[in-house]
Amino acid sequence: MRFDVLTIFPEVIESYISVSILKRAIQKGIIDVRVHNIRDYTTDKHRQVDDYPYGGGAGMVFKPEPLFNAIESLSRDGIKRHRILTSPGGRVFTQDVASEFAREHGAIMIVCGRYEGVDERVKVLIDEEISIGDYVLTGGELASLVIIDAVCRLLPGVLGDETSSEEESFSTGLLEYPQYTRPAEYRGMRVPEVLLSGNHQMIRRWRRKEALRKTLKQRPDLLEKAALTDEDKILLQEIKEEERWMQ
């Protein structure tokens, strides 16, 4: 899968993709991340990418020329890209959106928004705006990395264990169950005995129940949208009875 990132701070993107899981995915040829400096597409000697907004107001706005030049230049290679602009006003990025991107798009272009936004005319070249949450960042570089990271984890071969992405928080509609590793006891706190039992059916049931318990406690809103099985409903009833008994 290919990602083209348009930014005025390429070093931010390059530093992140040069380590850990994304680095290995690039080395394996599973993903191809290409970073493009928007300033390279300016036409003035100062390489200016922003200007004051018409009508007045605080802050600066991305000029249309460099972005038009960059997007159109990259599009001449014939690769069909899904063009994204990072923006606080865009569609909220979720695990479902990450799955959609991983499933439906072989190449994605991400324009990192900055300043007070981009000249509105640029949006004729954009397929959609994406927001990673209801808050404002200094620039879209962090948002672009969130998108790339979340999408890449869903691609076959990126994670060492192919079941890892399926069991993570939100992938099943629930928060992930608690995890433990060695030692079996630390400072008087023991790993639940069921995880040491070797009984895979009991472990599976315990993990599902604890995922439901955690979701009920921390993100009950997710349960309203989750596709719960008959077993899940039984486990939820058990959890609620246990909670009442402990009160």
Which residues are CB-neighbours of 198 under 8 A, at least 6 positions away? none
Q: 92: helix, coil or strand?
A: strand
pLDDT score, position 246:
80
CA distance 222 to 93: 15
Q: Residues 203-213, buried b or exposed e (16+ Cβ, 10 A)?
A: beebbbbbbbb
**What pLDDT does residue 115 have?**
80
**Helix ranges restricted to H, the chain:** 10-17, 20-27, 64-74, 95-104, 141-152, 164-167, 200-218, 220-225, 230-246
Residue 168 CA to its chain's centroid (Å)? 13
Which class is 2-152 in CATH? alpha beta
State the pLDDT at residue 162: 60
**CA within 13 Å, CB half, 43:** 8
The domain over range 169-246 is classified in CATH as 2.40.50.100: no
Residue pair 235/208 in contact (Cβ under 8 Å)? The answer is: yes
What tens-digit pLDDT sequence spans the chain (247 residues)?
999 999 999 999 999 999 999 999 999 999 999 999 999 999 999 999 999 999 998 899 999 999 999 999 999 999 999 999 999 999 999 999 999 999 999 999 999 998 889 999 999 999 999 999 999 899 999 999 999 999 999 999 999 766 565 656 566 789 999 999 999 999 999 999 999 999 999 999 999 999 999 999 999 999 998 999 999 999 999 999 998 888 7
Domain ranges of the chain: 2-152, 169-246
pLDDT of the residue at 174: 93
User: What is the predicted pLDDT for the residue at 167?
Assistant: 58
Q: Which residues pair with 190 in a beta bridge?
A: 185
